[in-house]
Amino acid sequence: MSELVLSAKHIFKTYKLPSGSIKVLNDFSLDIKTGEHVAIVGKSGSGKSTALHILGTLDKPDKCSDTIINFASVGDLTKLSENRKALIRAEKIGFVFQSYHLMPEMNIVDNVALPNMALKKRNPFAKDRAVALLEAVGLGNRLEHKPLELSGGEQQRVAVARALINSPELILADEPTGNLDPATGEAILDVLFSLSCKLPQIAGEEKAPPALLIVTHTQQIAEKCDRILNLEKGILKQ
Ligand SMILES: Nc1ncnc2c1ncn2[C@@H]1O[C@H](COP(=O)(O)OP(=O)(O)OP(=O)(O)O)[C@@H](O)[C@H]1O
Ligand SMILES: [Mg+2]
């Protein structure tokens, strides 16, 4: 459990706009251990989504020779080409967003199996695994349904299953319960936590469960994590 899955150091991010620059991250650093659950809290506009997008290679930090985003099994993500980063995202990182981001024209099995299509070596049993994950999140009786035929909480369960389909090492969740009522939100978090821990069994692999990095405004959710960090003035504080 003590090995680091991610070690990010000296991340800076400034948005340059015609009206002036906004410095959002200012020497942001974060280490996450294998299987660890970390919550990031902070005021609206403090840069939580920006940080998650950079850690997940969806956005780039400012150019700075000191910046390192070391993904243990890969190396420094900031040095990789866009194609390689896309592959790493598909293979090693699961994403859960506040607004689900599901494909409306596909049924939920195909939605969950979709990240498998981005792999270099696709798993021929991805659909079977998608079905197993959907059963595990309580949607085994809705497999033929499309996302818009489901409630918000059900759609987020699909997104959780999708985040786990490729057995990632890290899950990045940006306010995963932000659009849900408190009870539904808590149920989603319980599913995310328990399924992450059970993933090696479901996938029949010896891998460690994924680490979770969750941005949340909800104290109860943050308290379910091993550590709570506050993003303030561009850096994380205990
Ligand atoms: N693409 C962008 N262009 C310019 N400014 C941006 C961009 N994305 C974010 N910002 C600015 O960066 C700051 C941090 O935004 P970010 O979305 O990371 O905050 P957040 O902590 O996730 O907020 P919230 O809790 O409301 O989701 C904000 O001031 C925002 O206006
Ligand atoms: Mg945000």
Residue range 60-76, pLDDT digits in tens: 999 998 999 999 889 99
- Cβ pair 233, 44 in contact under 8 A: no
Q: With 90 as the cut, is the pLDDT of residue 234 above it?
A: yes
In a domain, 6, yes or no: no
Share of the chain above pLDDT 70, in %: 99
Tokens of 158: 């699909």
* φ, ψ of residue 179 in degrees (nearest 5): -100, 10
Cα–Cα separations (whole angstroms), residue 88 to 10, 81, 186, 198: 21, 11, 30, 22
Q: Which atom of ligand 1 is nearest to the CA of 50?
A: 18
Q: What CATH number is given to the structural domain containing 228?
A: 3.40.50.300
- Angstrom distance (rounded) from CA 55 to CA 38: 14
Proximal ligand: closest to the CA of 43: 1
* Segment 29-38, tens digit of pLDDT: 999 999 999 9
What was the pLDDT predicted at 2?
59
In a domain, 11, yes or no: no
In a domain, 98, yes or no: yes
Residue nearest to atom 28 of ligand 1 (CA): 45
If we measure between CA atoms, which residue out of 234, 230, 98 comes closest to residue 174? 98
Number of domains, the chain: 1
CA atoms within 13 A on the CB side of 174: 18
Residues in Cβ contact with 80 at an 8 Å cutoff, skipping those fewer than 6 apart: 57, 74, 88
> Is the minimum distance from the CB of 197 to ligand 1 under 6 angstroms?
no
Q: Which atom of ligand 1 is nearest to the CA of 51?
A: 18
What was the pLDDT predicted at 216?
94
Mean pLDDT of the chain: 94
> Is the minimum distance from the CB of 24 to ligand 1 under 6 angstroms?
yes
In a domain, 223, yes or no: yes
In a domain, 214, yes or no: yes
In a domain, 205, yes or no: yes
Mean predicted confidence (pLDDT) in 197-209: 84
91 CA distance to ligand 1 centroid (A)? 27
What was the pLDDT predicted at 27?
96
What was the pLDDT predicted at 23?
96
The residue count for the chain: 238
- Angstrom distance (rounded) from CA 172 to CA 69: 15
127 CA distance to ligand 1 centroid (A)? 36
- Cβ pair 11, 61 in contact under 8 A: yes
User: Which of 1-5, 8-12, 201-205 comes out lowest in average pLDDT?
Assistant: 1-5
Q: With 60 as the cut, is the pLDDT of residue 132 above it?
A: yes
> Is the minimum distance from the CB of 49 to ligand 1 under 6 angstroms?
yes
> Is the minimum distance from the CB of 75 to ligand 1 under 6 angstroms?
no
> Is the minimum distance from the CB of 113 to ligand 1 under 6 angstroms?
no
Mutate to test the pocket of ligand 1, among 46, 98, 215 (most ligand atoms within 8 A of CB): 46
Residues in Cβ contact with 133 at an 8 Å cutoff, skipping those fewer than 6 apart: 112, 161, 164, 165, 195, 202
The residue segments making up the domain with residue 165 are 34-60+81-237
140 CA distance to ligand 2 centroid (A)? 31
Mean predicted confidence (pLDDT) in 104-109: 98
What was the pLDDT predicted at 91?
93
Residues in Cβ contact with 140 at an 8 Å cutoff, skipping those fewer than 6 apart: 131, 134
DSSP-assigned states of every residue in 40-78: EE--TTSSHHHHHHHHTTSS-PPP-TT-EEEETTTEEGG
Find the DSSP H helices in 17-151: 48-55, 82-92, 108-117, 126-136
- Angstrom distance (rounded) from CA 177 to CA 27: 28
Would the pTM of this model clear 0.85, i.e. be above it? Answer: yes
Residue nearest to atom 30 of ligand 1 (CA): 45
* Segment 165-196, tens digit of pLDDT: 999 999 999 999 999 999 999 999 999 999 99
- Cβ pair 213, 38 in contact under 8 A: yes
* Segment 11-34, tens digit of pLDDT: 999 999 999 999 999 999 999 999
Q: With 60 as the cut, is the pLDDT of residue 1 above it?
A: no
173 CA distance to ligand 1 centroid (A)? 16
In a domain, 74, yes or no: no
Confidence class for position 144, pLDDT limits 50, 70, 90: very high
In a domain, 158, yes or no: yes
98 CA distance to ligand 2 centroid (A)? 9
